Amino acid sequence: KQWYQRRVRGTHDSVNFICDNPDIRAISFVGSNAAGHHIYERGSKNGKRVQANLAAKNHGVVMPDANKENTLNQLCGAAFGAAGQRCMALSVAVMVGEARNWIPELVERAKKLKVTAGNLPGADLGPVISPESKARIERLIQSGLDQGAEVPLDGRTVQVPGYEAGNFVGPTIMNKVTPDMECYKEEIFGPVLNVIEAETMDEAIAILNENPYGNGCAIFTNSGAAARKFTNEVDVGQIGVNVPIPVPLPMFSFTGSRGSFLGDSNFYGKAGLNFYSQWKTVTTLWKEEDAKTATAEVAMPRMQ
């Protein structure tokens, strides 16, 4: 069979056309919860295969025995790279025990990132995708302040010379965040890192498992025992050990889970191939001689 690719622009009508058209047999989606649930439900009702990657809230658990400099670099890169607008951005740091003392250094490191137009040399962060996106990010930062979070680094005031009307939000770190805050419950999808403090790794694991999303997470530690405990007990589909953005190579599947995924076959890897395949089973029997009787057998066919 031949495969065709066509780019279609549009909103509700275009989406519903894809969900309803009988010539389209499978739908693969990445995006927001509302759109993903609609596509999954409507496409499935029409007998289509649907896989939908939805929202995420990716956590990085920082143990006090981790390599500090490397961990701080990894947190900044994973939280603020691509202006935080990627599904595997690390948007929550859970600082365990004495690791909380690293927060001031994390703030200083994030301050050094350069915010400017993405096509200019030395840019670390470009603008977010739209004025609406910028307004939503800034609203969620303010909601955290209103609910008791601290903001030792506020990127809402960033100014980029020559691009004063641009959709820029600088690196933002929100400390003393708790799971009941809107800024934690919502996927901010911007250069904002929520910081939560935990006394023990058990408490940190409980925080991750109580969050409805299961796209990705990471632990930073030098303890093999801690890494094994974390990977066994955390209920998240993609886990990094000292790897902040644990996106697998294409031969493995993108295994987001729980509230971050709808469907039964994940993206790429073997599961992705199965999603786009229709299995066919062929059973054959070749006999050297013709049957010796004229009596038909009504039981299941046998190899004899």
* Strands annotated E in 154-215: 172-175, 192-198, 213-214
Are 105 and 74 a contacting pair, CB within 8 Å? no
Are 37 and 29 a contacting pair, CB within 8 Å? no
Are 13 and 262 a contacting pair, CB within 8 Å? no
Are 173 and 137 a contacting pair, CB within 8 Å? no
Tokens describing residue 43: 């496409």
**Which residue is catalytic, options 19, 76, 87, 183?**
87
**For tokens 């927001």, what's the residue?**
32
3-state secondary structure of 258: strand
Within 8 A by CB and 6+ apart from 64, the residues are 96, 97, 98, 99
**Is 87 a known active-site residue?**
yes
Backbone phi and psi for residue 299, each to the nearest 5 degrees, phi listed first: -80, 175
Tokens describing residue 88: 């595997």
Give the residue from 160, 173, 210 showing the smallest Cα distance to 57: 210
Q: Which residues are catalytic?
A: 87
